[in-house]
Amino acid sequence: MDAIEFTRNYTDHSTDRGFQFEFQCDRCGNGYKTAFQAWTMGTVSGALDAASSLFGGVFNQAANLSERARSAQWQQARDQAMVQAIQQVKPNFLQCPKCSSWVCKKNCWNQSRGLCKNCAPDLAVEISAQQSAQAVQQIQTSIGVDAEDAKMIGSVGNAKVQASCPNCHAPLASNAKFCPSCGYKLGDAGKFCSNCGSKLAPGASFCPECGTKQG
C-alpha cells in the first residue's frame, strides 16, 4: 500500500471492534464523521480473550498467538479504512493556498477569491457586521438625543447588506445571483445602496438616504 496522506484535523475513533474517523474544519471546527465500519476479526478475537480468562493453559497460549496476529491484521484493516474515509470526506474540504488550512467548502471557503474566509473574508458579511456594530454603539449613546439624531440612528440601524440567503440563510458570495444551497433568486430580495447599504426602490438611480448614484 502506498503512503497514506493525512492532515492534523482528524480524530481516530477506531476500536478493536471496528473503524471510524472524524474530520474537522480548521476554521469553524465543524466537519464530518464516517459511519462505523465493523471489523469481523474483532468478534472472533473477543471470544478467544473471554475463553482464555476462563480456561487458561494451552488455550491461553493460543489466544496470545491470536492477539499478535490480530494486531497486524487490525493495523492493515485500519489503514485501508482510513484511506477509504479520506476519499469519502475529502470532496467536502479545500486547502487554502495562502495559509494551508483545510476548511469546509460549505461555510468557510470564499469561492470568488479561491481562498479560505480567514484570508479572504466575505465582504458582504463584514460590511453587515460593521454596520450592526456601529448601529448598536450609536444606540447605546443615544439617550437624550433630539429627534434629528434619533432619525439618523434609525437609518443606520435599518441599513442592511445582503450577506445570507433570505430564504434558507445560507452564506452568500457578494456577487451571487442565486443561492447555492436552495436556488433562491437573490434579485427578488431587492437591491441595496453600494455606499450606505440602504434598500433601494426598483429602478432607483440614486440612494434616498445618502444620495449616492447607483451603477
Number of Cα atoms under 13 Å in the Cβ half of residue 16: 13
- 3-class SS at 212? coil
Q: What is the pLDDT of residues 28-71, one digit of tens each?
A: 999 999 999 998 876 544 444 544 444 444 444 444 444 554 58
Residue range 164-190: average pLDDT? 68
The pLDDT of residue 59: 45
The pLDDT of residue 37: 92
Prediction pTM value: 0.51
Distance CA 166, CA 6 (A): 38
Distance CA 2, CA 86 (A): 14
Q: What is the pLDDT of residues 142-176, one digit of tens each?
A: 655 555 655 665 555 454 445 566 666 677 666 66
The pLDDT of residue 179: 76
The residues, ordered by sequence, that sit 6+ positions from 191 with a Cβ below 8 Å of its Cβ are 199, 200, 202, 204, 214
The percent of residues above 70 in pLDDT, for the chain, comes to: 61
The answer to whether residue 86 scores a pLDDT higher than 60 is: yes
Indicate the pLDDT class of residue 134, thresholds 50, 70 and 90: confident
Which residues partner with 31 through β-bridges? 24
The pLDDT of residue 126: 82
Report which of residues 133 and 172 the model is more confident about: 133
Distance CA 198, CA 175 (A): 17
The pLDDT of residue 133: 81
The answer to whether residue 96 scores a pLDDT higher than 80 is: yes
DSSP symbols for 113-131: TTEETTTS--HHHHHHHHH
Identify the top-confidence range among 65-74, 113-122, 167-176, 192-201: 113-122
Distance CA 163, CA 176 (A): 10
| Average pLDDT over all residues of the chain | 75
